[in-house]
Structure 1
Amino acid sequence: MSESASIVVDLVHESPVVRHGLAAMIRTSSQLVVGREAASAAEFLSGLSDRDPVVILASPPAGAEVLRRQRTEPAPALILVAAAFAAMSARSGLADGALGLLELSAEVDELICAVRSVARGQRYVMPKVASQLAQACDTEELTPRENTLLLHLCEGHSNKEIAQRMGITLGTAKAYVKAILAKLSAKSRTEAVVIATRTGVLQKAVSASERAGG
């Protein structure tokens, strides 16, 4: 893509307020053009025709679905846009294949910079989010006991079953689950397993278990 060519930006977000706000920001640049707008990944993907999207701005849920269902080479130049990113949700988005991470607090100039970067195939992570990712490398590792419990979660065991298998009280098992959800920025046990799988946390737990002899 030449530097002078207009970049078409498609918008996929559940909130019409967010979509309209992003569209207004995009229109401030003479080099960006608002393309299609959709409220969901299904709506967006059903409307794809002869024009492939150049850059997609999407909410994390919609973006993950677009990336999962649109397996093309190269992958779509997609930027996840959210009110805020926790470290684990940011890692999950990048693991899914997103090229950019941008919070809604971003200024117009930063949004334009992000769009231009991913249109060239370059990754763009908002500095604030990049800083959180760097800090999380040292502060959000699971403990050995949490790793063991994560493996039980992946096997679908209930809190009661986990307590019995680990030789701990039900209250302690619940506390461990709560700690894991917090560290993975997950809202449910199922989401915790998905995020752990996508970000490599589960593989670390498996490796730790193997080193400990199962």
Structure 2
Amino acid sequence: MNRIRVVLADDHAVVRRGLAGLLESTDDLEVVGVAADGSEAVALAREHRPDVVLMDLQMPVLDGVEATRAIVAEHEHAGDGAGPEVLVLTSFSDHARIDAAIEAGAVGYLLKDAEPEVLLDGIRAVARGESPLDPRAARRLLTRTSRGGGPPSSDVGPSDLSPRESEVLRLVVEGLLNKQIAQRLGITERTVKAHLTSVYQRIGVADRTQAALWAQRHDLGAARE
């Protein structure tokens, strides 16, 4: 059985040791690097090419958001196949930090008071290409969105989107990030971003969370294989 290779990044030594011990107690997870700050996390991700980077947000030298952005950007620039996926593990559940982490390229967001099995299953989910999101973080995103000025204009509907825009939006609902959408559709990530920018402007939203909620309200569900 191939073990899921993980780099841990947290600025608290006790937390690092605890996480490493938890992961190494399993049969399918392997810790290949441990970082005390974001800069070390970027270097270890480059050196070990793990499947998952478990990333804290508040760290010295380079914070988790910027470290995530650097890891994702470095892999995209290399263009050499599947790279590390970043799963945020933090104490913060405010929407600003969640938005920042996801926009930087994180594929999941969990809180440190989660049960150990939730964390382990979250790492496995990320390795499978899924996007785990702590329910409390999800609620904050939904609450913030619902208070952000109400639903977009009813004059705009799914029929106003092009077939490709609808396809991209369905994959956003499915939880895929831009690079994953690009791989699924066989297009460049730049093209995905262009389609999403067009969708945002057309339906009157500001980000992918609002776009996904709009799609769900209009029964534009997740894409089917």
Gap change, CA 1:89 and 1:200, over 3 Å in 2: farther
Match of 1:108 among 103, 109, 116: 116
Q: What stretches of structure 1 move > 6 A for 4+ residues in a row? A: none
Partner of 1:26: 23
CA contact (8 A) 2:93 2:136 kept: no
Q: Distance in 2 between matches of 1:41 and 1:140?
A: 32
2:49–2:83 Cα contact (<8 Å) kept: no
Q: Is the 8 A contact 2:23 2:30 kept in 1?
A: yes
In the aligned structure 1, how far is the partner of 2:119 from the partner of 2:135?
12
- Tell me by how many angstroms 1:134 deviates: 1.3
Report the Cα distance in structure 2 between the residues aligned to 1:18 and 1:90, rounded to whole angstroms.
Answer: 21
Out of 135, 147, 154, the residue aligned to residue 143 of structure 2 is 135
Whether 2:97 is the aligned partner of 1:89: answer: yes
Measured on the aligned residues, the alpha-carbon RMSD in Å equals 2.4
What SS is found at the alignment partner of 1:124?
coil
- In the TM superposition, residue 140 of structure 1 has moved relative to its aligned partner by 5.3
Report how far residue 138 of structure 1 moved. 1.6
How far apart in 1 are the matches of 2:57 and 2:42? 16
Structure 2 unaligned regions, length at least 5: 77-81, 150-204, 208-225
Task: Give 3-state SS (helix, strand or coil) of 2:48's partner.
Answer: coil
For the Cα contact (< 8 Å) 1:67–1:76, is it kept in 2? no
Shift of residue 66 of structure 1?
2.3
Amino acid at match of 2:84: P
Distance in 2 (alpha carbons) for counterparts of 1:54 and 1:137: 32
Identity %: 26
Distance 1:30 1:133 in 2: 34
Runs of 5+ consecutive residues of structure 1 not aligned to the other structure: 142-198, 202-214
Residue type of the partner of 1:41?
Answer: G
Quote the Cα distance in structure 2 between the aligned partners of 1:130 and 1:136.
Answer: 10
2:69 aligned residue: 68
How has the CA–CA distance of structure 1 residues 100 and 49 changed in structure 2, closer, same or farther, with 3 Å as cutoff? closer
- In structure 2, the partner of 1:57 is 54
**How many Å apart are 1:50 and its aligned residue?**
5.2
User: For 2:37, which of 36, 40, 55 is the aligned residue?
Assistant: 40
Kept after mapping to 2: 8 A contact 1:38/1:44: yes
- Give the counterpart letter for 1:120 in structure 2: R
Summarize deviations over 1:52-100 as a string: whole Å, max 9, x none: 1211111124332222223114553111111131122112211111011
Q: How many residues align?
A: 142
Q: Distance in 1 between matches of 2:95 and 2:41?
A: 27
Q: Which amino acid aligns with 1:119?
A: A
Matched residue of 2:5: which SS?
strand
Give the structure with higher Rg (CA): 1
Q: Which moved more, 1:29-38 or 1:61-70?
A: 61-70
Higher RCO structure (Cα 8 Å, ≥6 apart) = 1
Q: Distance in 2 between matches of 1:134 and 1:75?
A: 30
Q: Distance in 1 between matches of 2:134 and 2:91?
A: 12
Cα distance between partner residues in 1 of 2:84 and 2:5 = 13
TM-score w.r.t. the length of structure 2 is 0.56
Task: Output the CA distance in 1 between the equivalents of 2:51 and 2:206.
Answer: 29
**Could you give the per-residue CA deviations for residues 91-131 of structure 1, whole angstroms, max 9, x where no partner exists?**
22111110111111111111111101111221111122112
Q: Deviations over 1:119-157 (max 9, x none)?
A: 12211111221122112212356xxxxxxxxxxxxxxxx
